[in-house]
Structure 1
């Protein structure tokens, strides 16, 4: 099967489960032992040909971003106690499926592999896990944004810190004429965000493609590890053995139903 390439993206293709793990856990450990968080986040895609597009970009109605968020706030039954910035609402909207400029990532390579292999009807095509060093991405922030993060003392942003930097998306976009990307740890809205070890990225332009921005950097900030179709059944089996399943990642009856549906529709591995 031909694999779609993305210019400027380092693409590697493992041949075995062991090689796949080595690639996804290839950070310089144990030199960094004692660090609570990795500085690399991952995004699993069922098809290796897919790029990094936000849900708003996939919708194709970029000009409706403000309308979508405004009406989400208006009709929401779970308002925040204090509504000082767009960021609480944006992360809540992303979490519940509204098209936004946010892109979902995870600190866990295994969780990313879950999303690359969960659709057993597509085990005949290559998947992929994209990985980004978000600390390296933050080195390219405008000075006023980078200094706010430095003073905060963390490696990733929070909704509170982004609210201090720019209370609205309009203000965020106006901080610098060149698009920049921030990574934030979303608030623990429910167990799903916690169990998926979630991270979000957001660009200061709703039109800029995340993969295009990441590959323009020197050196490029992103890598794509292909999950070959031939490996997908084995990877799926190993993840199930490790309890990386819908039942855990989507706590509740919906996740349980998704797990059982996949389990009983999966073909036997030859």
Structure 2
């Protein structure tokens, strides 16, 4: 359920708006995206009523078999494997978040310049933690997870995940959740200020090369800066 909606006018206005975050609790997460709502993991966005559990389990097993030379023994554990799969682009029941609101703002503004974007703030102090005695496919509630920072990208992005459950015939978008443990605030980033915000973020050291701290990120950043 969305408890607050606001329109951002500038980077300074955004920073001021984020000052309320600590008032909500210690575990406040952010997500930036170029679409309104639809806060669902990638595996559920085309059809939230489809039970994808069998597909997800099969995809993880194929990842282990075909990509065995790229994995470690820890990836035999479903929790470890699903985090790695999400990081490398496999469709899973995980949704990416960050504990850094500036990173979320960069993601909101860096794609689709022709449309408005959104940052969502998730207050998760009372959210369920995973029951690690069960697999990610057996959780009874949406839960939050801070993954191991094995990848420089995850570390640079201050990554967190929500793990979504299939129940009552669907995956429920977070904005439609009736769970009191999950509070959402929505911030509209108008398309007219997105380019200006990216310039301001770059001056503050938030850009493609710092959010993706590898050669791909650096080259992408230089393409945008010099071409």
TM-score scaled to structure 2, two decimals?
0.85
1:169 is the counterpart of 2:169: no
Q: How many Å apart are 1:78 and its aligned residue?
A: 2.8
Q: Distance in 2 between matches of 1:229 and 1:137?
A: 32
Residue aligning to 2:174: 211
- Structure 2 distance, partners of 1:256, 1:248, is 8
Q: More relative contact order in 1 or in 2 (CA 8 Å, sep 6+)? A: 2
- What is the distance in 2 between the residues matched to 1:231 and 1:21? 15
Gapped regions of structure 1 (runs ≥ 5): 1-6, 33-37, 139-148, 150-156, 266-270
* CA 219–254 in structure 1, closer or farther in 2 if over 3 Å, else same: closer
1:115 corresponding residue in structure 2: 107
Structure 1: distance between partners of 2:65 and 2:46: 21
1:91 equivalent in structure 2: 83
Alignment check: 8 A CA contact 2:209 2:218 kept: yes
Q: After superposition, what is the alpha-carbon deviation per residue over 1:194-223, rounded to whole angstroms, capped at 9, x for unaligned?
A: 01010011023284133245x423486111
CA contact (8 A) 2:109 2:198 kept: yes
1:40 equivalent to 2:3? Answer: no
Alpha-carbon offset, residue 39 of structure 1: 1.1
Match of 1:231 in 2: 193
1:50-129 residue pairs with structure 2 within 5 A? 50-58=37-45, 60=47, 62=52, 63-76=54-67, 77-82=69-74, 85-119=77-111, 122-129=112-119
The reply to whether residue 136 of structure 1 matches residue 131 of structure 2 is no
Scaled by the length of structure 1, the TM-score of the pair is 0.72
- Mapped contact 2:98–2:104 kept (Cα < 8 A): yes
RMSD across aligned C-alpha pairs, in angstroms?
A: 2.6
Provide closer, same or farther for how the CA distance between residues 27 and 9 of structure 1 changes in structure 2, counting only shifts above 3 A. closer
Q: Which has the larger radius of gyration?
A: 1
Higher strand share: 2
Q: CA deviation at 1:130?
A: 0.6
Distance 2:224 2:195 in 1: 12
Note if contact 1:8-1:216 (Cα within 8 Å) is conserved in structure 2. no
The number of residues matched between the two structures is 220
> Deviations 1:8-39 (Å, cap 9, x if unpaired)?
5532112333222111231246x98xxxxx41
